[in-house]
Structure 1
Amino acid sequence: MRILLVLVAAALSLAGASVATAAEKPIRLLYLDQSVGWRHRPVTRPEGGGLAPSETAMIAIGKKSGAFTTEVTQDAREITPQRLETVDVLVLYTTGALPISAEAWTAVQTRLAAGKLGFVGLHSAADTGWDYAGPGLDYTTMLNGQFGGHPWTEEQKVRVKALDNHPLAAPWGRSVDLVEEIYQYKRFDPAAVRVIQSLDFSGMPLKRPYAVPVSWVRSVGAGRLFFTNLGHNETTWADPRFAEQIVRAVRWTAWRARGDATPNPREQARDQVRALLTYAGEADVEARVARVKDEAWLLDVAGRIAALREVYPGKPEADRTRFEAAYAAVLVEVRAR
Structure 2
Amino acid sequence: MRRLLALLLIAPLVAFAALTAAPALAKPAPLRVLYLDQSVGWKHAPVARPADGGLAPSEAALTAIGQESGAFTTEVTQDAREITPQRLERVDVLVFYTTGALPISPEAWAAIQQRVAAGKLGFVGVHSATDTAWPYDGPGETYTRFIDGKFAGHPWTQGTPIRVETLDPDLPLVAMWPLSFDYAEEIYQHSDFDPTKVRVLQTLDFAGTSVKRPYAVPIAWAREIGRGRLFFTNLGHTPSTWDDPRFRHQIVEAVLWTGRRADGRATPDTLRQFLWQVKALLAYEPVEGRDDQAIIGRLLKMDPTWQAATAQRIADLRAVYPAKPDSDRAPFDTAYKAVLADVLTRGGAR
Say whether the fold is shared (TM-score over 0.5): yes
Counterpart of 1:141 (choices 128, 145, 154) is 145
TM-score by length of 1: 0.92
Counterpart of 1:298 (choices 294, 307, 310) is 307
Provide structure 2 residue ranges, at least 5 long, that are not aligned to the other structure.
1-24
Alpha-carbon displacement from aligned partner over 1:43-74 (angstroms, at most 9, x marks no partner): 00000000000000000000000000000010
TM-score by length of 2: 0.89
Alpha-carbon displacement from aligned partner over 1:149-188 (angstroms, at most 9, x marks no partner): 1111002111111123332121111112111000110110
Counterpart of 2:34 (choices 17, 23, 30) is 30
| 1:10 aligned residue | none
SS in 1 for 2:325: coil
- C-alpha distance in 1 between matches for 2:35 and 2:256: 15
Identical positions, percent: 61
Query: Is the Cα contact below 8 Å between 2:126 and 2:233 reproduced in 1?
Result: yes
- C-alpha distance in 1 between matches for 2:138 and 2:223: 22
| 1:131 aligned residue | 135
Alpha-carbon displacement from aligned partner over 1:108-133 (angstroms, at most 9, x marks no partner): 01100100000000000000010111
| 1:193 aligned residue | 198
Alpha-carbon displacement from aligned partner over 1:306-331 (angstroms, at most 9, x marks no partner): 11001100111111111111111111
Note the C-alpha offset of 1:103: 0.6
Aligned-residue Cα RMSD (Å) equals 1.2
Provide structure 1 residue ranges, at least 5 long, that are not aligned to the other structure.
1-20
Alpha-carbon displacement from aligned partner over 1:2-49 (angstroms, at most 9, x marks no partner): xxxxxxxxxxxxxxxxxxx97221000000000000000000000000
Matched, 1:47 2:54: no
| 2:279 aligned residue | 274
Counterpart of 1:257 (choices 259, 262, 272) is 262
Q: Aligned letter for 2:295?
A: R
Q: Which runs of 4+ in 1 moved over 2 A?
A: 163-167, 282-288
SS in 2 for 1:248: helix
- C-alpha distance in 2 between matches for 1:250 and 1:289: 36
Counterpart of 1:159 (choices 145, 160, 163) is 163
Counterpart of 1:120 (choices 117, 120, 124) is 124
- C-alpha distance in 1 between matches for 2:26 and 2:70: 8
SS in 1 for 2:75: strand
Alpha-carbon displacement from aligned partner over 1:72-106 (angstroms, at most 9, x marks no partner): 01010110001000000000000000010001111
Q: Aligned letter for 1:312?
A: Y
**Larger RCO: 1 or 2 (CA < 8 Å, sep 6+):** 1
110-119 vs 281-290, which deviates more?
A: 281-290
Counterpart of 1:110 (choices 104, 111, 114) is 114
